[in-house]
Structure 1
Amino acid sequence: MKHRVIYPRPLKKGDQVCVIDPANAFTEEGIRNARAFLEGNGFQVVISEDMAFKRGTAEERADRLNGVLRNRDNRAVLCMWGGYGTIPLLDKIDYEALRTNRPVFSGFSDITAIHMAIQDKTGLVSFHGPALYSPKRPVTPDAQRQFIDMVTEPWKRKELSNLNGEPFRIVRSGTTQGRLAGGNMTIVSRLMGTPYEIDTKGRILFLEEVGEKPYRLHGMLYQLKLAGKFDDAAGVIIGGLTGCDDEGRPGSGEEAVRTILEDTDIPVICNVRAGHLSDPLTLPLGAEARLEGDRVIIIGA
């Protein structure tokens, strides 16, 4: 279902932000680093330590998540990192609280499931943002600054560029406009055939992945193709394909993408560095965006 675009209340210094972990389990090191990053940017930090995946049933975890969402003092609800465990929460989330309170909501990877449900149920712009702490891929200061810029001025027009200077690469050139939708390719695939299946009609579909071989990328993309998701879409952005090349064999993650998407009739851009990376771009899912050749522009309100 399409809803009008709703922007979250912009974050400002002094605001309370709540860190949750619906797809994994907190570590003390993670808590220390997340707190240091957020407090260093002037926010009051609350850690919802009982939100971790391994603590309680889906119903219990959803109840705790809803308590966080219903608390209007929480101007942002930020996921520590990805993991596994969000899909069982989708039919239990208080989406009306999200629509009413309009917090900044950010996360990536398995959190894609919640992003997709938020877009379907509310129209609230949410952020495919970096991990608050990652020992495997420490997030760079540039990526942290871009995240803060995005959530403090969520309605502002912005043109994106990779933080490491690499260019975006065109698979199919063109100009198009639509709301951003998507996230992790595996989660998008898992939700096909459910009430939370991705709606691509008139939208720019963003997909990223980590640790999947090219043949698995090919299979997931072909599933979307057979389902007509590229026929309906306004365009496609391919984000990071981290660890998706098949070492010792011909072919790469990007080649698998090109095999499926180079004969579509819509603009397609790859190497937009968002996803499982140390320098990920933050993308405002649900916001209007425009593709112009190799340019990605967030239009804003």
Structure 2
Amino acid sequence: MLPQRLKKGDTVGIIAPASPPKQEKLEKALTFLEEDLGLKIKLGKYVDSPYGYLAAKDEERLEDLHAMFLDNEVKAIICACGGYGTARIASNIDYEIIKNNPKIFWGYSDITFLHQSFLQKANLVTFHGPMLSSDIGLDNPHPISKLGFQQLFEPMETVYSEDFSSLDVLKEGIVRGEIVGGNLTLLVSSLGTPFELNTKGKILFLEDIDEQPYKVDRMLNQLKMAGKFEDANGIVIGDFHNCVPDEGKDSLSLEEVISQHVLGAGKPTMKGFKFGHCTPHIAIPHGTHAELNTHNKTLIIQPGVQ
């Protein structure tokens, strides 16, 4: 299901389904939504109710998520930040509410678990895009990161080429399929659950942050053993920010680790995409159709709204 597009004057709901956002940065991001995009804001009841490393208790974060999908005034739901916690509420979400009230849903990082669960249980296309408090709320957010929100107002293809970043071909080919994925750590954590990553016939994209190469190695190996690379039509490697070994520690390079685990499946693969914990952060729909073409170094993704 493609959610309905936004128009100026619409109300968007802000929730924190994982960790607590930094309120000062969130306020700056809300100004962007209101003044630059012409949207109205409705804050979730528990956006500022920290409970340890969680934004609020599980039942409170779940309540906010359900309330925003049920609220007819709210036309889109944007996550304040990532961190940790979405997997704790995934099993208790009423996916019939989401099926019956499809809306734009936006976030990344820990929100990856909800992208997977919404697609699998409610068939909803969502958006993997920069977070309010950690990206848009910075003193000087990148213009391209902000520009990604425009795809919420008009159905438009995302054409990713070397106009955005240098792209490296690891395995040649042209493939098509739904584009799915997100944060590697969260995708691996879905294995063996009712929300397990499904890559059959799909284009898989991966990103992560602050994981040493041996940890990336372990997670990629688990995806490989679970058949996720073999099942995929193609693979897109996003940003792996600060995924470097401790200083002075013997290590394989990140590039070696990725090549050793991913290329064995023989699927068209490119790396260098600015998806993830990076600047700029290119926002893309999750669950819609895409084409990966290594010959002209493009990734073309179909619109995420109707």
Report the TM-score, using the length of structure 1 for normalisation.
0.91
Query: 2-side partners of 1:254 and 1:149: how far apart?
Result: 33
- What SS does the corresponding residue of 1:263 show, helix, strand or coil? helix
Q: Which residue number in structure 2 is paired with residue 121 of structure 1? A: 121
Percent identity (aligned): 34
Q: Quick check: 255-264 or 72-81, which moved more? A: 255-264
Partners of 2:50 and 2:74 in 1: how far apart?
Answer: 21
- What are the Cα deviations for residues 28-66 of structure 1, in whole angstroms up to 9, with x where unaligned? 302311211101210001121514562653223212321
The farther-off stretch of 116-125 and 42-51 is 42-51
Q: Paired residue for 2:285?
A: 284
- Return 109-118 or 62-71, whichever deviates more: 62-71
Equivalent in the alignment of 2:26: 31
Contact 2:22 2:133 in 1 (8 A): no
In structure 2, distance between residues paired with 1:7 and 1:65? 19
Aligned to 1:167: 166
- Residue 3 of structure 1 corresponds to which residue in structure 2? none
Q: Determine which of 7, 16, 19 is the counterpart of 2:2.
A: 7
- Residues 69 and 102, structure 2, Cα contact 8 Å, conserved in 1: no
Residue 106 of structure 1 and its aligned partner are, at CA, apart by: 0.5
Distance 1:13 1:36, change over 3 A: same
Q: Report the TM-score, using the length of structure 2 for normalisation.
A: 0.90
Gaps of 5+ in 1: 1-5
Superposition RMSD in Å: 1.9
> Equivalent residue for 1:150?
151
**Aligned counterpart, 1:223:** 222
Partner in structure 1 of residue 46 of structure 2: 50
Cα distance in 2 for residues equivalent to 1:56 and 1:157: 36
| Cα distance, 1:138–1:228 mapped onto 2, change above 3 Å | farther
Runs of 4+ in 1 over 6 A off after TM superposition: none
Of 272, 295, 298, the residue aligned with 2:298 is 295
- The residue correspondences of 1:266-281 to structure 2 (distance < 5 A) are 266-281=267-282
Cα deviations by residue, 1:60-98 (Å, 9 ceiling, x for unpaired): 321232111111211110001211111111012232222
For residues 116 and 206 of structure 1, do their structure 2 counterparts lie closer, same or farther at Cα, with a shift above 3 Å needed?
A: same
